[in-house]
């Protein structure tokens, strides 16, 4: 089946540093979503992107829908300890039609050293 390549798999950074992660696909997507998951909880939606080239911010988070429609990027500026968690990208492939089925990346584990 379709897969999303998400990188890096993990990041260990100092508080205050900026973070970048990305997802790439072998096929074209209609929608890109970025989620954060804390231990013992479900994924929580951070940012949703609906068209190629779209750049959207949510506080210190910024995400972009790649112009090729096959990739997306998430940046976190000035990281803080509560940014710790697993970040997932998810995409809705064009051939998914109206079902809204998503394909998920395998996640980026972020650890922030105070």
Binding site for other proteins (CB under 8 A): 1, 30-31, 33, 35, 40-45, 48, 50, 88, 90, 92, 98-102, 104-107
- Point out which residues pair with 104 in neighbouring strands: 90
CB of 80 to other proteins, least distance (A): 23
CB of 8 to other proteins, least distance (A): 15
Whichever of 45 and 80 has its CB closer to other proteins, that residue is 45
Beta strands 19-25; 4-7: pairing state = antiparallel
Whichever of 84 and 104 has its CB closer to other proteins, that residue is 104
CB of 100 to other proteins, least distance (A): 4
CB 55 within 8 A of CB 42: no
CA nearest neighbour of 33 among 97, 111, 106, 90: 90
86: Cβ contacts below 8 Å, ≥ 6 apart: 36, 37, 107, 108, 109, 110
SS3 102: coil
Whichever of 37 and 75 has its CB closer to other proteins, that residue is 37
CB of 24 to other proteins, least distance (A): 15
């Amino acid at each position: 089946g379709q897969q999303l390549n998400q990188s890096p798999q993990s990041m260990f950074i100092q508080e205050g540093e900026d973070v970048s992660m990305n997802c790439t696909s072998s096929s074209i997507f209609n929608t890109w979503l970025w989620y954060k998951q804390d231990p013992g909880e479900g994924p929580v939606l951070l940012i949703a992107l609906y068209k190629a080239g779209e750049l959207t911010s949510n506080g210190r988070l910024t995400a972009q829908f790649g112009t090729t429609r096959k990739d997306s990027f998430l940046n976190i500026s000035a990281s803080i300890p509560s940014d710790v968690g697993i970040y997932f990208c998810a995409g809705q492939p064009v051939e998914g039609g109206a079902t809204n089925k998503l394909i998920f990346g395998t996640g980026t584990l972020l650890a922030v050293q105070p």
